[in-house]
Each structure stands twice: as C-alpha cells, then as structure tokens.
Amino acid sequence: MNIVVLIISILICIFLIKQQKIDKLSTDITIVSDLTNQKWHGFYSMLFFTINHYIYCKENKINFKINSDTWLFKSKLGWSDYFNDIELNFYNSTDEIKNYTVKDILGEYTFQTYRNAINNVYNYNTSTINKIIDTKLKYNLIDKEYDSILIRRGDKLAIESNYYSDDIYIKLLLEKNPLCSTIFLQTDDYNSYINLQKYITDNNLIINLYTLCDENSFGVIVNNFQKDLLNNATLTNDNNKAYLSSIIKKLNNSKSVEDMNSDEIYKHTLDMIIGIDIVINSNLCICDLQSNVTRFIKLTHNKPENVYNIIDYDNKVDYNKIITPWTSI
C-alpha cells in the first residue's frame, strides 16, 4: 500500500513539474514597450499604450521593460531623462523578446486599473521632482489650494480638436468655485493667458493667474507634417479656421518638437511634465476632453470628479468602466 502511495505521489510530482515547465514556457518572455517615433502619437498617447503594456505584463507575470532609444522626447538618455526606469522581472532571464509599439493594445482594463498602474510607470526621477517643487514654490502653489485650466491648441486644431473661446473655461471655473483666488493655466498658446488675464481685469476679479507658457508660443507642433494639416484647416475647418488664420504664420515659423535639439527637447518636455503635475494636484480643473493630455489629467487628477469638461458638464466617473484612454474616457 505504501509503495502504491509512493508511486502515485511520484507521478503527481512529475506531472506538476512538467506542467510548471509548460506554464513557464508560456510566460517566460520579455515584452518591450517600444516608444518609437510614431508621427501620429504625442507624448501622452504613447504613455497610455506603455501603461497598457505594463498592466498586461504585471497581471500575467511577464517580464517588462521600456525601449526609448528612438523616442521623440528623448534628450540624452530617453525615459530616464524624466522618470525612474521601470522594469518587471518575474524571471532572471528569458529566451524570447517581444516588442510592442504604440499601435498595440494588449488587454482591456478599467479606469481604476489604469489609475492604480500609472504611478508605477509615470514615476518621476529625483531631478524632475526637485524641479516640480521649485516651480510650485516660485508661484506659491500649495497642492489642492488652487484651481487650474488646461487649454491645448497648436497641432490639435488641425483635425483633432475644436476651438473654444477662453472665457468659456474661466466662466465654468467660477461657476464651480466662485471663491477662486488662484488659477494655474497649462497651455501651449500664450493668447489664452492674455485673454484670461483680460477677463479677470475687465470683471474686477481678484485672481492670481500663472502659466509656464512662453510669451512667444502660440501652439505646439509635434511633427512637421502637421503644419500642412493646419494650413489646410484654415480653409476647410469651419470651427477653427478663423482663429487659425490669425496665428497660422506664427505656427508655420515655430520649431516643431521633431526639429528641436537635445536641450530644447528636455526643456519642452520637462516644462510640460511640471505643468501637468501642477494641474493634476489642483483643487478643480477645467478643460476639454479632446486630446490625450486632457484625458490623462482626468485619469490621474487627485479627484477625477473635480475635472470638468466644457463640452459636457457631466463629470461623473465610472471607475469600473473599460476604457481606452487614448480615444475616450
């Protein structure tokens, strides 16, 4: 009887060892999220795909790492110019490498799942943290004690976004918080700062308005081909052509991210990251959910229900909703 039990036990052990090897072979790979220079994908679009890859690997116990060698926003090192390196290592070594780009979706996940994962990927390095702290001290911005507005224009006005008057944003903000005394404006178009400051002055409001936007910036253009789209939009896009026509010469003369040198890329990207962090930690945020950067803010704000969309005032958040953040929230 003991011999029979022993034989059965041995057979079970052999089966389990074989099964473990099969399971290991099915997952013993490394997935690389490849931040290649994709002309249709900006910073936060690429980030969303990378987070998707990270979640998939973590849930399925697959090794994960980022390749940013040809990333458009690489200054010197790539991802680690701004963030801590991120890797998942479930196995000491793997025989197979699978590369996925910003066109590949590896799974469907909820709003809450993305929120839980973001800080593991979007994890500032020490230099970035210090620059964020210095900027907040400069403007005396204390987390959750100021409000924010985000207006993204530039290349987005070609085909992705509609133009909305600046006063729509501040009117909604004052409706939600009549006691607002400090506003941080995250924008790539200095005209927005001029117009909002004029609104504050004309209405005798006691509000401090701050922005990191350069006074010579009238919209960011990521890739040069988008200039052709913008020029065409001045003729065909009824929603945007009046405003675009007033700034198109300046946009055509501006330097795209694609043409920036290493130092310019670093400054541009770091200023953007700092500005977005300030928005994420604001009390209320008013934006339009037309671009990936605004969808990123909705996803990562300390209180997503405090992020208001000027196009649709419904700010409810379904944390169990399956989302693809690069297209919708």
pLDDT of residue 36: 81
243-251, long-range: CB within 8 Å, 24+ apart, which pairs? 243/157, 243/163, 244/157, 244/163, 247/189, 247/191, 247/218, 247/219, 250/218, 251/154, 251/218, 251/219, 251/221, 251/227
Could you give the percent of the chain with pLDDT greater than 70? 88
- Round to whole Å and give the CA distance between 50 and 104: 9
Going from N- to C-terminal start, the domains of the chain cover: 25-121, 126-313
Structure tokens at 215: 């006074």
Identify the band that residue 38 occupies on the pLDDT scale cut at 50, 70 and 90: low
Q: Has residue 8 got a pLDDT over 60?
A: no
pTM for the whole structure: 0.88
The arrangement of strands across the sheet holding 63-67 comes to 87-88, 63-67, 29-34, 96-100
Which residues, 6+ apart, have CB-to-CB distance to 194 below 8 Å? none
pLDDT of residue 6: 40
Of 3.30.70, 3.10.450, 3.30.1950, 3.40.50, the CATH number of 126-313 is 3.40.50
Instruction: Provide φ and ψ at 56, rounded to 5°.
Output: -60, -45
Q: Is-contact 274 132, C-beta < 8 A?
A: yes
Q: Is-contact 132 124, C-beta < 8 A?
A: yes
Over the stretch 23-37, which tens digit does the pLDDT of each residue have? 443 457 899 999 986
Identify the band that residue 3 occupies on the pLDDT scale cut at 50, 70 and 90: low
Of 120-124, 150-154, 186-190, 319-323, minimum mean pLDDT range: 319-323
Give me the helix-helix angle, 126-138 and 262-280, nearest 10°.
60
- Mean pLDDT in residue range 243-253: 92
328 or 199, which is more confident? 199
Q: Has residue 324 got a pLDDT over 90?
A: no
| Residue 90, Cβ density class (10 Å: 0-12 exposed, 13-18 middle, ≥19 buried) | middle
Over the stretch 101-115, which tens digit does the pLDDT of each residue have? 878 899 999 999 999
Q: Which residues of 176-211 are buried (b: 16+ CB within 10 A; e: fewer)?
A: beeebebbbbbbbbbbbbebbbebbeeeeeebebbb
Which residue in 136, 82, 95, 92 sits closest to 265, CA to CA? 82
- Mean pLDDT in residue range 6-33: 52
Identify the band that residue 11 occupies on the pLDDT scale cut at 50, 70 and 90: very low
Q: What is the residue-averaged pLDDT of the chain?
A: 88
